[in-house]
Chain A
Amino acid sequence: AQSVAQPEDQVNVAEGNPLTVKCTYSVSGNPYLFWYVQYPNRGLQFLLKYITGDNLVKGSYGFEAEFNKSQTSFHLKKPSALVSDSALYFCAVKSSASKIIFGSGTRLSIRP
């Protein structure tokens, strides 16, 4: 069965420092991987996706993610964090038509 894990409930980073939010997945077949962000009292917003090709994918707001097949990981990264990046981040996997499974979410807190 497909699944996705986000091992950290919370990540705390100082503004200006690099950030990483971790995600590992388990699927049969080729994974389609996504990151979404949720701000308070809002719906989820799509950030970026990996379908095929280059293992480093770039997305919105300066975020990028690295697909690592051997480690079955898809970690979200940003070189320099902003206070406005503070939000809830969800990793998701889609391996069959029309079914997307979300991780448990990681709360990212950026301190000034």
Chain B
Amino acid sequence: DTAVSQTPKYLVTQMGNDKSIKCEQNLGHDTMYWYKQDSKKFLKIMFSYNNKELIINETVPNRFSPKSPDKAHLNLHINSLELGDSAVYFCASSQGLTATNTGELFFGEGSRLTVL
């Protein structure tokens, strides 16, 4: 059973299109994230949801809209795609930081978005 699964794994599309990436985790975690990894392999956090509530919203264009229908799912919708959006997008989950949980991340395999 895959712990954090993302679909699609590859996405090739034209500039100006709208696309979505879906993520599901079966680990029972309460926090989910989207990270963007660029061509130089830099990883930057985009969003984080805790129990369906947005708790981290980094400086991301508002063309990017996350949605969390429940705590096991976090989807990413991107409007009006631009060339610079080409990257690998990683979904991750963790159990929130508490006295007994230290919140290490579990990552999906990534979704490689190519905008032409």
Contact = CB atoms under 8 A, between A and B. Distances in A.
Given A98-B94, A98-B96, A43 B43 contact: no
B90 A44 contact: yes
Nearest to B55: A98
A94 B103 contact: yes
Interface string B33-60: 0010000111101001010000110000
Nearest to B105: A100
Contacts of A100: 45, 103, 105
Contact of B105 (A42, A46, A105): A46
A43 B43 CA distance: 11
Given A44-B105, A98-B50, A100-B105, A90 B97 contact: no
Interface stretch (B13-21, B73-81, B106-114): B106-114
B102 interface: yes
Interface of A: 32, 34, 36, 38, 41-46, 49, 51, 88, 90, 94, 97-102, 104-105
Contacts of A90: 43
Contacts of B110: 41-43
The number of chain B residues touching the other chain, given as a range, is: 20 to 34
Contacts of B40: 104
B106 A97 contact: no
Contacts of A34: 104-105
Contact of B102 (A32, A43, A102): A32
B31 interface: yes
Given A46-B105, A49-B104, A105 B41 contact: yes
Given A98-B50, A98-B55, A99-B48, A46 B41 contact: no
